[in-house]
C-alpha cells in the first residue's frame, strides 16, 4: 500500500465516506454474513458496506475487487484466518433412511448422486460406485435441494447451507465425517489501515481470535 493510498484511507474514515467491499459465497451471504455485517454496522455506522456474491474468491481478492473475502480455502498471496468448521451432510428424500440420523458413504452409492463443484467431495467419494452421476454446475444450492426433494437423487452439502432445509428432504450426518474450513482472507497491506483494517479486527474479536 502506497503512502498516498494509506493517507486517502485514513481521510475517508475521518470524513465518514469509506466503503468496505466484502466477497463471499452464496451460502455464506445467506447464513453467516448477515449477523456479522449487522454487528459491524452497529459499531461503525459511518462505513458503507458493499457485498459481492461470487464463486471465485481468489480473483476477487487478487484483483482488489474486494477488501476481505469469506472462503473455504486460502487464496494465493493473502492472509487467511480460520473461523469455523463446517461439516458436509447428506441430503436425501424424506422417505429414505427414515429411522436414521447418520449415514455412511457406502450406503449412498446405490443412489443417483447430484454432483456439484465441491472439490474435496470428489476425493471423498468414489463416484464410479454411484448408480448415476447428475452433474450440477451452479452455485444455486436451493435448486440442488429441490432436485433431491423430487427424488431425482441424493446430494451432499455443507451444514451451513442446510440449517433451514425445507420439508420433503432429510439431512443426515456423514460417517466418516468430512468438512470444510471457513475463514476470511485478505491481503496483508489491507489490514494496516482504513475500514478494512477495522473489519478484520472486528471479525477476529467476534470469533474470539484475539
Which three cell numbers mark 74? 486460502
Whole-angstrom distance, CA of residue 106 vs CA of residue 161 = 23
Q: Classify domain 3-78+187-206 at the CATH superfamily level.
A: Periplasmic binding protein-like II (3.40.190.10)
Residue with cell 473475502: 69
Question: Are 3-78+187-206 and 87-180 the same fold in CATH?
Answer: yes
Residue 202: what pLDDT? Answer: 95
Q: Classify domain 87-180 at the CATH superfamily level.
A: Periplasmic binding protein-like II (3.40.190.10)
Which three cell numbers mark 183? 475463514
Domain range list for the chain: 3-78+187-206, 87-180
The more confidently predicted of residues 122 and 48 is: 48
Average pLDDT rounded to a whole number, residues 20-39: 92
Let me know if 210 is exposed, middle or buried by CB neighbors in 10 A (0-12, 13-18, 19+): exposed
Q: Tell me the pLDDT of the chain averaged across its residues.
A: 87
Please name which of 111, 73, 70, 69 lies closest in space to residue 90, comparing C-alpha atoms: 111
Judged against a pLDDT cut of 90, whether residue 65 lies above it is answered with yes
Residue 102: what pLDDT? Answer: 97
Buried b (16+ CB within 10 A) or exposed e, 91-116: bbbeebbeeeeebebebbbebbbbbb
Whole-angstrom distance, CA of residue 193 vs CA of residue 17 = 15
Model confidence over 117-152: pLDDT tens digits?
Answer: 766 788 899 999 999 999 887 667 889 999 999 999
Residue 68: what pLDDT? Answer: 95
Whole-angstrom distance, CA of residue 176 vs CA of residue 103 = 9
Residue with cell 493517507: 7
Model confidence over 164-196: pLDDT tens digits?
Answer: 888 899 999 999 999 999 999 998 888 877 899
Residue 4: what pLDDT? Answer: 41
Find the range with the poorest average confidence among 13-27, 40-54, 84-98, 104-118: 13-27
Whole-angstrom distance, CA of residue 100 vs CA of residue 18 = 51
Whole-angstrom distance, CA of residue 124 vs CA of residue 104 = 11
Residues 6+ positions from 38 with CB-CB distance below 8 Å: none
Amino acid at each position: 500500500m502506497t503512502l498516498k493510498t494509506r493517507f486517502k484511507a485514513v481521510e475517508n474514515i475521518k470524513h465518514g465516506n469509506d466503503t468496505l467491499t466484502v466477497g463471499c459465497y452464496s451460502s455464506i451471504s445467506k447464513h453467516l454474513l448477515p449477523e456479522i455485517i449487522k454487528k459491524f454496522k452497529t459499531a461503525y455506522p459511518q462505513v458503507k458496506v458493499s457485498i459481492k456474491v461470487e464463486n471465485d474468491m481468489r480473483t476477487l481478492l487478487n484483483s482488489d475487487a474486494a477488501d476481505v473475502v469469506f472462503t473455504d480455502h486460502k487464496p494465493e498471496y493473502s492472509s487467511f484466518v480460520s473461523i469455523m468448521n463446517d461439516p458436509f451432510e447428506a441430503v436425501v428424500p424424506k422417505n429414505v433412511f427414515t429411522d436414521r440420523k447418520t449415514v455412511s458413504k457406502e450406503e449412498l452409492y446405490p443412489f443417483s448422486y447430484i454432483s456439484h463443484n465441491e472439490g474435496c467431495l470428489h476425493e471423498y467419494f468414489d463416484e464410479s460406485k454411484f448408480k448415476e452421476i447428475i452433474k450440477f454446475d451452479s452455485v444455486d444450492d436451493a435448486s440442488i435441494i429441490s432436485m433431491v426433494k423430487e427424488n431425482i437423487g441424493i446430494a451432499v452439502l455443507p451444514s451451513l447451507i442446510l440449517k433451514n432445509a425445507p420439508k420433503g428432504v432429510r439431512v443426515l450426518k456423514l460417517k466418516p465425517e468430512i468438512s470444510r474450513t471457513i475463514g476470511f482472507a485478505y491481503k496483508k497491506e489491507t489490514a494496516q489501515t482504513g475500514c478494512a483494517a477495522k473489519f478484520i479486527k472486528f471479525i477476529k474479536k467476534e470469533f474470539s481470535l484475539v
